[in-house]
Amino acid sequence: MEQYDIVDFSSLGETAKQLIQEAAHIRQRAYCPYSNFAVGAAILTEEDERMYTGCNIESSTLTPTICAERAAVPRAVCDGYTKFKMVAVVAHQKETFTAPCGVCRQVLSEFRSSDGDIEIYLSKPTMDKILCTKMSKLLPLSFVSYKIDSVT
């Protein structure tokens, strides 16, 4: 795969289609009175393919605003899931697709699947064309922290 492919929604597998539909559905619950830019995200866990969703939640002071992806991640983690197979993001922009911001890319990269990557699907609410890529393409030089077994 190059950096990304743009495909018809109908050409996707059933799981990817359902993930995108879940992201589109949760997008309707976004709390975005300041930007009016609603975003929905859905995550598919690797462990047993459960789906978790999130929408953006804005704050008038902007800094505590929560992106849709970072709203979905803690829901999955709280249920014990730490490996994500797929992520779908649905938002509306006229000329382009909406990809996760830099902070969301780094957070998502913490939960890469066993193969070391995450499939990413970006869609507009019309769900006609889908941009398909991988986390490794969105964040090629992600920060990697090394776990320390013991502190001396």
Condensed to tens digits (0 to 9), the pLDDT of residues 72-87 reads 999 999 999 999 999 9
User: In the chain, where are the structural domains located?
Assistant: 5-40+49-135
Compute the distance between CA of residue 33 and CA of residue 45 in angstroms, rounded to an integer: 31
Count of alpha carbons within 13 angstroms of residue 42, beta-carbon side: 22
User: What is the CATH code for 5-40+49-135?
Assistant: 3.40.140.10
Please tell me the predicted confidence (pLDDT) of residue 144.
66
Catalytic residues, by residue number, are: 69
What confidence score (pLDDT) does residue 143 get?
73
Residues comprising the binding site? 67, 101, 104
pLDDT of residue 1: 46
- Measured CA to CA, the distance from residue 41 to residue 124 in angstroms comes to 12
Positions in the chain short of pLDDT 70: 1, 144-152
**Considering the entire predicted model, what is its pTM?**
0.91
